[in-house]
Structure formats: structure tokens, C-alpha cells
Amino acid sequence: MKNKAITPRDQDFARWYDDVVKAARLATYSGVKGCVIIEPNGYAIWENMQKVLDGMFKETGHQNVNMPVFIPESLLNKEAEHVEGFAPEVAWVTMGGKKELEERMCVRPTSETLFSEYYANTVNSHRDLPKLYNQWVNVVRWEKETRPFLRSREFLWQEGHTIHETAKEAEEETMRMLKIYQKFFTDYLAIPAIVGQKTEKEKFAGAEYTYTIEALMYNGVSLQSGTSHYFGQKFSKPFDITFSNRNNELEHVYQTSWGVSTRMIGGLIMVHSDDNGLVLPPKIAPRQVVIVPIKNESNVISKADEILDALQDRGITAFVDMSEKSPGFKFAEHETNGIPVRIEIGPRDLEENSLVVARRDTREKMTIAADSGVADYVEDLLQEIQDNLLKMATERRDALTYTATTLEEMEKIMNTQPGFVKAMWCGDEECELKIKEIRGTKSRCIPFPEEQEHISDTCVCCGKPAKTEVIWGIQY
């Protein structure tokens, strides 16, 4: 039975998305324009993302720090390309209490300048390197159009900032973090994201180059889901971050930055969820199993508690729903909230030594024996759901990935059923801007050389000799 509070996905995708966010109690609009309140269900997902990623970062030697939320204007202006790129989104503080500030300060949109100042004051020798730091913070960017998780004026994220002795080490770090993001998306979020390098026009302001992880949503619109930047010495020179190298010569460090945000929650919704609400991969779901007693009879409750203990012993996050709601209401609520597995236990089931198990991804119901092996069954089922979500998302992405050799072909694709479009490009920014006229289509990434397909010899836009393959798409 369909959830009447949720607009059908294929009828109005934007409204469907907002309905799922609201119905699953992930976030709600606040009285602060452009900002949302992340509710407990939404924040629990973020906490799980944070826990997994933080572990991955620490396994590779990174440490957490915390920088100020304010950046003096003079500090922000030290790297010209960087400040120019962020200027339209910066929020400024001009008053402290009732007193006008001598120098206005921006509310942190990103922290390259803060880290650069810190490194300039703390690094002296090659023995101090590398510095592998990350922070989990909120940032503010004055977006014109906002939507929960996808774009809001304040959002949560992590931003890694590292400095290195050599360019080689810094470039290896840039790639290493991209691969960590890709592994997280594949293994935990069950999202088959693609990776590659941004074009010069689309790279991060102030970077030598930017790597990106791009995910395709159910409706064929792409989502830039994470980035990893190589700065070289573009920040270390204006900020004078120097160290005494192994030849006892003064040299500028080589720098990186990388980050993902609560935007990933939006990606989870738009890749996996359906007309009945949220669908969550078990590895990132805050609650993996709910046990619903059909009647509050002692033998039913006793069996529910027994199963709960067995599941928790396996490290499975489960709970028994003892709320005073009807079983049907509970089923619908847990389905809307995206809990991967539901176990239903009633007196009649116990008489027949059986249980009903429902899986959220396919909405199938299975009857299994109640006397033994329930934890084994559920553990296997959770992995099966995780694998199936990745499989379905991959099939959907592949079905919405096209090739084009002419601008007319690209336009037809974007105006019918958009997706990722693989096409050749001459490298001229004018062609990028021309392609953008097609519903705002942008270059998503340049695939790495080993993944390029060489679709044709000519640019999809101008017909001149092509330099590289590019994956194009409409973006959020």
C-alpha cells in the first residue's frame, strides 16, 4: 500500500524528495531563511557517516582539529583566486555587540586560509611534515536557492587539510583521499559513484587541480558528492608556509584539501528511496532491524527480547517497538523511516514456530522458523540488501549513461531522459559554455586515462580534434 503523504517519484521528483525528507523526519525548515533543522533521524545517519569516515581517516594517519568559525577579511584576501571564487557566497560579520568591527570577518565558507595561517606559524623543518589534519565542522555559504541537505546556507561537513614535504607526497594524498571517498560510497552508501578530474573551469578556486566523486540520482541528475584538491604551493607561497628541507634550504610546503558533507544524505535519498519513503543501506542505517510484537503477550515479548539479544550479540543495531500503536501503523512508520529489516512476531506465529521477516528494499515478506538461526538469517539478509541496493543503483546509473558525438544528440538526451553523457571535448572553455546552454549541462569530470573510451576523434560541440573524453550532466 502506497504512502499517501508522499508524492509519486515519477510524477514530481522534487516534491517527492521534499515529502520523503518530511515523512521520514530527517529535517525540517527553520525560522532562519535558507537553513534547516536536522532532526534526530537525519542526524543519526550523519553520525554513522561520520563514524565510518573518521575511522578511515585515522587509519591513514589523519588527526582531528578544530579551526575558528570566523575569518578576518585580510586573511581571506591573501589568495586572490580563492577569495574571488567564494566572494558571492560569503556571509560577513560587521558588528560585535553594539560596536562596529575594525575589520569585518566572514563566517567560514571553507578553511584553507585558517589552516594556512596555522601551518605558517607552526612548521619549521621537514621533520614537522607531513601534517595530516581534518575537522568536522559547520560552514556557511549564502546560497540563493536552498533545499534540505542538497543546498543550504549552513551545512555540516568534514574538511581535510594536509601539507607535505614534496609535490609527489601531496599528489598521492589527493588521490588516496579520493579513493577513500569512492570506497565509502560503494561499500557503505551502495552508490556507484564515478571519479575523475574537474576541468579547469570547474575546479576548486585556488587549486592546481580537483578530483571529484560524482553520483547519479534516480532522475538522471548528477550530484557532486565529494572533492579532493591538490593545491601545490598556491596557498603556501602567499601565506609563506616554509620549512627547512633535507638540504637545509628553505622551501614552501605542498598542500591538499578534501571534503564531503551532509549532501550525502540527499544523495542517499535520491538514489535508493521510493514512493513509500526512505530506503537505507544496512551499513549506514542507524537502526538496522525493528522487531514488532503483534500483541503484548508475555510469550511474544519474551521471544522478541530473545531475538533482540541474539541480534545485538552480532553487532546488529536492533530494537523492539513497544509503542502503543497498531501493528499496521508501526509497519508503515518503520517502512517510511527506511529500517532495512522488520521482524513481526504474533501469538499465532509462535504456535506455528514461525516469524515473518520483511525487507525494506524489495518489500518482500518471508516466513522463517522461530526456534533457531534467526540471527544468522538476518545477518545474511542485511548483506543481501546492501548488495542489492548497490546492484539496483548500478543498473539504474548504467541505463542512464549515454554517449553522444554531436551537440544535437546531447540535446536530445538531456531533453528526454537526462543522465551521464560521455562525449569528447576539444578542451576549449567556449565549448563548455555552449554545452551549458542545454539545460545547464556541465562537465562532471574527465575520466582517468585508463577509463577513457575514445568515443570519437572530434569535439561533441565544435567538431574540432578532441583532446579528452568528458562525462557531462545536469547537476544539483
Q: What is the pLDDT of residues 202-227, one digit of tens each?
A: 999 999 999 999 999 999 999 999 99
For residue 358, the model assigns a pLDDT of 98
Percent of the chain with pLDDT over 70: 100
Q: How far, in Å, CA of 281 to CA of 387, rounded?
A: 9
For the chain, give the number of residues: 476
Interval 287-333: pLDDT, tens = 999 999 998 899 999 999 999 999 999 999 999 999 999 999 999 99
* Pair 280, 340: CB distance under 8 Å: yes
Question: Which position has the grid cell 585580510?
Answer: 74
**Helix H or strand E segment including 113:** helix 112-122
55: its cell numbers? 575511522
Question: For 289-385, CATH number?
Answer: 3.40.50.800
Q: Give the start-to-end residue ranges of the domains of the chain.
A: 13-272, 289-385, 401-473
Question: Which CATH code, of 3.30.70.890, 3.30.110.30, 1.20.59.10, 1.10.1030.10, is assigned to 401-473?
Answer: 3.30.110.30
pLDDT band at 68 (very low <50, low <70, confident <90, very high): very high
User: Residues with Cβ < 8 Å from 45, sequence gap 6 or more?
Assistant: 26, 265, 268, 280, 284, 285, 286
Cβ atoms of residues 234 and 81 within 8 Å: yes
What are the percentages of helix, strand and coil residues in the chain, rounded to 5? Answer: 35, 30, 35
Tell me whether residue 364 is exposed, middle or buried, using C-beta atoms within 10 angstroms of its C-beta: 0 to 12, 13 to 18, 19 or more.
exposed
Task: Tell me the pairing of strands 222-232 and 209-216.
Answer: antiparallel
The answer to whether 214 touches 198, Cβ cutoff 8 Å, is no
pLDDT tens, position by position, 431-470: 999 999 999 999 999 999 999 998 999 999 999 999 999 9
Q: Which residue has the cell 563514524?
A: 51
13-272 to CATH, choices 3.40.50.2000, 3.10.20.30, 3.30.930.10, 3.10.20.740? 3.30.930.10
